[in-house]
């Protein structure tokens, strides 16, 4: 009797285990079913993006005033050497400012040193001009004295000639020669005096030009340095300038003299979502297409937009092997909660079908003959004619009806499923050939 009870208990335990396993297995199978759906169907291209303002005002560092170089003072003489500017301090990104309020301070060190050097140079130029004027005055005074003295010599020679008219001819001739010589010397001195005046005036004017250029350079430097404190050109929210590599300019960053933008004041009334589409999908994207936009910061909201521009040339982005094309999407309406740099999810609607039958993509299987089929819950292996697909679902043109239930994964003992829909095979193969011909063309 005891032995019989043990046997019965063992059988009951085994039976319970079998039932449990079947229940567990069935539970797993239930989770792998999907129902065939009918309704609207969208083909989309989805990419993450970033909000930017469609319009904004650039907050720029000071522009270098360019002058002209003169002679040996090239690099001085009114010309300021372009150098990178370092942002010493800047208000936090997102700060709301009013026109004229403080934005940033640029490091003045390099140009202050330049100003110091140019002030010393200006003193030298001023001294050079004063010395040139004094030297010229002395030289010209001496030349005038020489001319005056030579005039006396000519007068004396004239008197000597006048007094020698009763002298022998030789004496008269000697007096005439002496007078002629003194007169020629006087004429030469007068010509030399005029040439020296012209020469000294040219030298003085050259020194004046150098002084004027040096003065202009100092004034330009002083005006330039006065603009190192950056203020807001209008009311708005400060957004840091982003480099091509994605790094934002902030305190400690340098500003190229040919790209002087430090930050921007965006117009928040019109926002764009900037995204990048890979080279495989970019041919599907066209201006005017509708877009559904989600913003990570507000997951409960959905925004609507439309594509306004598609780049013609791709670019290599960091961490991407494929060429990516920039696409800009305008967000419809205005929402005060939207801010630049917020992350967006963009679904660009490429095509819409109003009333079609569709199933999840993972429910479609193919054999070695590339004929698509699905496993139905009623133990049939249904061949299907596929339509277009999106990221999750595919359209079933023929073979399934709404409400049918299919397996999402290959069921147990698939060889026991009955094949139906073989009449669709010829249509599938014809379409496959047509697609191949289009691809080759």
Q: Is residue 166 pLDDT above 90, yes or no? A: no
Assess contact for 158 and 139: CB atoms under 8 A.
no
Cα 340 to Cα 173: distance, rounded to the nearest angstrom: 104
CA-nearest of 308, 309, 273, 310 to 292 is 273
Assess if residue 195 is contained within a domain. yes
3-state helix, strand, coil in the chain (%, to 5): 40, 30, 30
Round the average pLDDT of the chain to a whole number and report it: 86
Determine the average pLDDT of the residues in 367-394: 93
What domain count does the chain have?
A: 1
pLDDT per position as a tens digit, 183-205: 999 999 999 989 999 998 999 99
Cα 18 to Cα 6: distance, rounded to the nearest angstrom: 19
pLDDT per position as a tens digit, 97-155: 999 999 999 999 988 898 999 999 999 999 999 999 998 899 899 989 999 999 999 99
Q: Strand 372-375 vs strand 343-360: parallel, antiparallel, or unpaired?
A: unpaired
What is residue 83's predicted lDDT score, i.e. its pLDDT? 84
pLDDT band (50, 70, 90) for residue 393? very high
DSSP secondary-structure letter at 54?
S
CA-nearest of 36, 31, 22 to 397 is 36
Determine the average pLDDT of the residues in 49-69: 80
What is the Cα 416 distance to its own chain's centre? Answer: 62
Instruction: Name, in order, each residue with C-beta under 8 angstroms of 140's C-beta and a sequence gap of 6 or more.
Output: 193, 196, 197, 200
Residue written as token pair 């679902």: 393
pLDDT per position as a tens digit, 61-82: 988 765 444 333 334 445 677 8
pLDDT per position as a tens digit, 230-281: 999 998 889 998 887 778 899 999 988 888 999 999 988 899 999 999 999 9
Assess if residue 35 is contained within a domain. no
pLDDT per position as a tens digit, 269-306: 899 999 999 999 999 999 999 999 999 999 999 999 99
Sequence length of the chain is 441
Cα 295 to Cα 303: distance, rounded to the nearest angstrom: 8
Q: What is the 3-state secondary structure (H, E, C) of 378-416?
A: CCEEEECEEEEECCCEEEEEECCCCCCEEECCCCCCHHH
Top mean-pLDDT range of 5-19, 20-34, 312-326, 352-366: 352-366
Assess contact for 320 and 250: CB atoms under 8 A.
no
Determine the average pLDDT of the residues in 346-369: 94
Angle, CA of 423, 429 and 430, to the nearest 5° = 100
pLDDT band (50, 70, 90) for residue 359? very high
Q: Is residue 51 pLDDT above 90, yes or no? A: yes
Query: Range of 120's domain?
Result: 108-227
Q: Return the higher-pLDDT residue of 441 and 394.
A: 394
Assess if residue 47 is contained within a domain. no
Assess if residue 200 is contained within a domain. yes
What is residue 336's predicted lDDT score, i.e. its pLDDT? 85
Q: 338-341 — which CB contacts under 8 Å span 24+ positions? A: 338/51, 338/268, 338/271, 338/295, 339/51, 339/94, 339/237, 339/268, 339/297, 340/51, 340/52, 340/53, 340/237, 340/239, 340/266, 340/268, 340/271, 341/50, 341/51, 341/52, 341/239
Lowest mean pLDDT among 14-23, 253-262, 283-292, 378-387: 14-23
Residue written as token pair 């002629």: 180
Assess if residue 332 is contained within a domain. no
What is residue 74's predicted lDDT score, i.e. its pLDDT? 38
Assess if residue 20 is contained within a domain. no
Assess if residue 211 is contained within a domain. yes
Give the predicted TM-score (pTM) of the model: 0.60
pLDDT over 90 for what percent of the chain?
Answer: 59
What is residue 236's predicted lDDT score, i.e. its pLDDT? 87
DSSP secondary-structure letter at 242?
B
Assess if residue 292 is contained within a domain. no
């Amino acid at each position: 009797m005891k032995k019989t009870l043990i046997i019965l208990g063992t059988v009951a335990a085994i039976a319970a285990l079998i039932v449990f396993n079947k229940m567990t297995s069935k539970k797993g199978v239930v989770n792998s079913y999907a129902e065939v759906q009918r309704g609207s169907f969208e083909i989309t291209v989805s990419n993450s993006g970033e909000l930017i303002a469609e319009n904004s005002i650039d907050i720029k560092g000071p522009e270098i005033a360019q002058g002209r170089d003169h002679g040996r003072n090239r690099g001085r003489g009114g010309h300021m050497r372009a150098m990178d500017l370092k942002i010493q301090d800047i208000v936090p990104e997102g700060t709301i400012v009013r026109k004229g309020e403080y934005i940033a301070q640029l490091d003045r060190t390099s140009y202050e040193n330049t100003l110091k050097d140019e002030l010393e140079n200006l003193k030298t130029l001023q001294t050079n001009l004063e010395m040139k004027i004094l030297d010229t005055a002395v030289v010209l005074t001496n030349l005038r004295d020489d001319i005056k003295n030579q005039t006396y010599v000519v007068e004396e020679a004239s008197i000597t000639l006048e007094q020698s008219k009763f002298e022998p001819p030789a004496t008269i001739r000697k007096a005439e020669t002496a007078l002629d010589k003194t007169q020629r010397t006087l004429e030469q001195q007068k010509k030399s005096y005029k040439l020296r005046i012209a020469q000294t005036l040219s030298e003085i004017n050259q020194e004046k030009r150098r002084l004027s250029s040096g003065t202009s350079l100092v004034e330009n430097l002083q005006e330039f340095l006065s603009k190192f404190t950056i203020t807001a050109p209008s009311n708005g929210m400060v957004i840091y300038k982003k480099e091509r590599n994605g790094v934002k300019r902030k305190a400690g960053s340098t500003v190229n003299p040919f790209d002087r933008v430090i930050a921007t004041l965006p117009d928040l009334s019109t926002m764009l979502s900037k995204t990048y589409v890979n080279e495989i999908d970019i041919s599907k994207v066209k201006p005017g297409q509708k877009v559904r936009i989600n913003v990570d910061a507000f997951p409960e909201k959905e925004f609507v937009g439309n594509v306004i521009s598609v780049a013609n040339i791709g670019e290599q982005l960091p961490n991407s092997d494929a060429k990516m094309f920039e696409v800009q999407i305008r967000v419809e309406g205005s929402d005060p909660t939207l801010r630049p740099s917020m992350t967006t999810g963009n679904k660009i609607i490429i095509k819409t079908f109003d009333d079609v039958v569709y199933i999840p993509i993972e429910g479609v299987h193919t054999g070695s003959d590339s004929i698509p089929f699905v496993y139905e819950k009623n133990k049939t292996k249904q061949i299907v004619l596929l339509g277009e697909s999106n990221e999750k679902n595919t359209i079933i043109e023929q073979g399934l009806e709404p409400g049918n239930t299919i397996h999402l994964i290959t069921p147990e003992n698939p060889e026991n499923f009955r094949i139906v829909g073989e009449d669709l095979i010829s249509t599938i193969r014809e379409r496959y050939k047509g697609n191949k011909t289009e691809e080759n063309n």
